[in-house]
């Protein structure tokens, strides 16, 4: 069976019209570009429930779902158009659109798949949706028995979990909604057998489908298990607590020759955070500079970037051109020639990026890709963005400063040796390798 409702949108016909939307992107462009041109066609399939074992196909001529021998004929696909926007309704929104005015062929609670094909981009991902139904609320039903479905994880309630009740063959929808704060979902059902599915959920695992046999009014108990949560890493508060515990004998409310304050602990952790993030070259940022500011300028500051990795030039018509990095000494030769035009090369000199030839057109963009500073740790709940297995490095570097502060250089060196060994392992780890730092331009070197 499918995983019911996982990733499914609830679509309803507003004012009697069912609206279908899709965005088509060209991944070969840098950055990926939204496609507004060409031809896109859409096909619709009714996938659940189906007793025949195969999907039905929407006939755009009759507005009904058929079970055809040949689903490729013209009647089973139709063209989409790009939705226009703006006050003059002349701007491409980037959304391909199809409206269905006659929705008599759709059944509330049934599930459908939309497949879109573009003449140059090929087939897009399938979009799965349920027609009708109201998420987050209990559906009104006419069953004779008041049933309370109670979901527990061990002895605790499992609140805010999606519950779907279907007939025993799972072909017909009977009730749906979310459990309340006590883990209860209430509905009206006739006596008989049903199948119940919960989820999906990031917090619980289920043994779907569950069997429900309704006889009399009452509470029917179901159980789930808690998922083991992935490693989230250390929060700012947890890191502070680790240092407080390690240096409790030195903690004071005011600073002294060998005393440590709360503010000092926080500063050391922030410094360790910047050091680890920077050495891993983890935080990547993009910065745009407009050539309209100083047309004819060949040197530009790269702002908040601490390392510059790549430069891209975007012309006024939207063309992206990745520039070639050259030796800083080449800049003098280009300046002597006095060439202007669309840049093709870049280098770094005296903390600025130089473009060659010098830009001579307004309304164009210089896009800088590089390494930046991470978001600062301020709240106790803040978590560094580097992989959680390396959060201990931040604490180690902060601890080294603490040992130096209290006059224990041998312990400082022991912590630093361990930290540098772990950092070297992180640089070699394929999942955390961000490239060779020697291949980027650093402000503090050039």
Residues of the domain holding 382: 236-282+375-439
CA distance linking residue 305 with residue 371, whole number of Å: 6
CATH number (domain holding residue 94): 2.60.40
Q: Are residues 401 and 361 in the same domain?
A: no
Q: Are residues 49 and 183 in the same domain?
A: no
On the question of pLDDT at 321 being above 90, the answer is no
CATH number (domain holding residue 205): 2.60.40.10
CA of 156: how far to CAs of 60, 162, 237, 391, in Å?
A: 50, 17, 28, 32
Q: Are residues 253 and 107 in the same domain?
A: no
Instruction: Give me the mean pLDDT over the 378-389 stretch.
Output: 88
Highest mean pLDDT among 25-34, 193-202, 222-231, 249-258: 193-202
Q: Which of 245-259, 316-330, 373-387 has the lowest mean pLDDT?
A: 245-259
Q: Are residues 126 and 54 in the same domain?
A: yes
Q: For position 134, what pLDDT does the model report?
A: 46
Q: For position 132, what pLDDT does the model report?
A: 73
Domain end, chosen from 371, 395, 429, is at: 371
CB 204 within 8 A of CB 353: no
Highest mean pLDDT among 128-132, 224-228, 377-381: 377-381
Tokens of 97: 């659109």
Q: For position 445, what pLDDT does the model report?
A: 30
At 211-265, the pLDDT tens digits run 999 999 999 999 999 876 555 788 898 888 888 777 766 665 555 555 778 888 9
CA of 240: how far to CAs of 92, 265, 270, in Å?
A: 51, 7, 10
Confidence of residue 3 (pLDDT cuts 50, 70, 90): very low
On the question of pLDDT at 365 being above 70, the answer is yes
Q: Are residues 391 and 426 in the same domain?
A: yes
Is residue 231 one of the residues assigned to a domain?
A: no
On the question of pLDDT at 338 being above 70, the answer is no
* Whether the bond into 209 is cis, omega within 30 of 0: yes
CA distance linking residue 114 with residue 42, whole number of Å: 7
CA 101, 107, 110, 115 dihedral sign is negative
Instruction: Please name the helix (run of DSSP H) or strand (run of DSSP E) that holds residue 59, with its range, or none.
Output: strand 56-59
Confidence of residue 70 (pLDDT cuts 50, 70, 90): low
Is residue 2 one of the residues assigned to a domain?
A: no
Is residue 140 one of the residues assigned to a domain?
A: no
The conformation of residue 394, written as its DSSP 8-state character, comes to H
Is residue 106 one of the residues assigned to a domain?
A: yes
Q: Are residues 212 and 300 in the same domain?
A: no
Q: Are residues 291 and 278 in the same domain?
A: no
| Number of domains observed in the structure of the chain | 4
Q: For position 14, what pLDDT does the model report?
A: 62
Domain end, chosen from 318, 341, 371, is at: 371
CA distance linking residue 283 with residue 387, whole number of Å: 12
Instruction: Give me the mean pLDDT over the 67-82 stretch.
Output: 74
At 413-438, the pLDDT tens digits run 888 888 888 888 877 765 555 554 33
On the question of pLDDT at 122 being above 90, the answer is no
Domain end, chosen from 206, 226, 246, is at: 226
* Angle, in degrees to the nearest 10, between helices 236-246 and 391-405: 40
Q: Are residues 111 and 42 in the same domain?
A: yes
Q: For position 16, what pLDDT does the model report?
A: 72
Q: For position 384, what pLDDT does the model report?
A: 92
Q: For position 446, what pLDDT does the model report?
A: 28
Higher per-residue pLDDT: 242 or 394? 394
Is residue 274 one of the residues assigned to a domain?
A: yes
At 142-192, the pLDDT tens digits run 688 999 999 999 888 888 787 888 888 887 778 877 788 888 999 999 999
Q: For position 1, what pLDDT does the model report?
A: 23
Is residue 301 one of the residues assigned to a domain?
A: yes
Q: For position 151, what pLDDT does the model report?
A: 94
Q: Are residues 379 and 253 in the same domain?
A: yes
Q: Are residues 22 and 126 in the same domain?
A: yes
Q: For position 147, what pLDDT does the model report?
A: 92
Confidence of residue 97 (pLDDT cuts 50, 70, 90): confident
Q: Are residues 273 and 386 in the same domain?
A: yes
Instruction: Give me the mean pLDDT over the 21-47 stretch.
Output: 79
Across the chain, mean pLDDT equals 77
């Amino acid at each position: 069976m499918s995983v019911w409702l996982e990733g499914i949108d609830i679509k309803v016909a507003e004012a009697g019209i069912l609206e279908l939307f899709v965005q088509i992107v060209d991944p070969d462009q840098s950055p990926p570009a939204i496609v507004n041109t060409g031809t896109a066609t859409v096909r619709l399939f009714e996938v659940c429930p189906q007793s025949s074992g195969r999907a039905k196909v929407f006939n755009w001529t009759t507005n009904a779902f058929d079970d055809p021998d040949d689903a490729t004929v013209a009647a089973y696909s139709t063209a989409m158009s790009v939705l226009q926007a703006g006050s003059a309704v002349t701007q491409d929104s980037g959304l391909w659109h199809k409206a269905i005015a006659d929705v008599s062929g759709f059944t509330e609670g049934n599930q459908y798949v939309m497949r879109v094909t573009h003449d140059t981009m090929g087939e897009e991902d399938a979009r799965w949706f349920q027609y009708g139904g109201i998420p987050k609320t209990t559906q009104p039903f006419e069953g004779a028995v008041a049933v309370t479905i109670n979901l527990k994880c061990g002895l605790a309630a499992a609140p805010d979990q999606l519950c779907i009740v279907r007939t025993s063959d799972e072909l017909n929808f009977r009730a749906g909604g979310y459990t309340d704060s006590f883990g209860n979902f209430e509905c009206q059902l006739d006596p008989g057998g049903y199948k119940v599915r919960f989820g999906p959920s990031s917090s619980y695992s289920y043994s779907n489908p569950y069997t429900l046999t309704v006889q009399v009014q009452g509470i029917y108990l179901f159980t789930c298990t808690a998922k083991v949560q992935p490693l989230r890493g250390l929060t700012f508060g947890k890191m502070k607590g680790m240092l407080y515990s390690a240096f409790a004998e030195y903690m004071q409310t005011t600073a002294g020759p060998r005393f440590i304050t709360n503010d000092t602990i926080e500063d050391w952790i922030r410094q360790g955070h910047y050091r680890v993030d920077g050495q891993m070259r983890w935080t990547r940022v993009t910065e745009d500079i407009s050539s309209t500011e100083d047309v004819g300028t060949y040197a530009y500051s790269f702002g908040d970037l601490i390392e510059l990795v790549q430069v891209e030039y975007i012309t006024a018509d939207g063309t992206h051109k990745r520039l070639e990095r050259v030796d800083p000494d080449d800049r003098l030769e280009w300046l002597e020639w006095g060439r202007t035009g669309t840049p093709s090369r870049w280098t770094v000199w005296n903390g600025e990026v130089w473009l060659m030839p010098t830009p001579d057109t307004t309304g164009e963009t210089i896009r800088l890709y590089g390494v930046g500073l991470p978001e600062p740790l301020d709240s106790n709940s803040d978590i560094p963005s580097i992989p959680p297995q390396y959060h201990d490095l931040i604490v180690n570097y902060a601890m080294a400063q603490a040992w130096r502060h209290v006059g224990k250089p041998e312990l400082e060196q022991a912590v630093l040796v361990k930290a540098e060994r772990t950092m070297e392992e992180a640089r070699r780890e394929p999942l955390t390798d961000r490239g060779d730092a020697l291949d980027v331009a650093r402000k503090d070197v050039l």
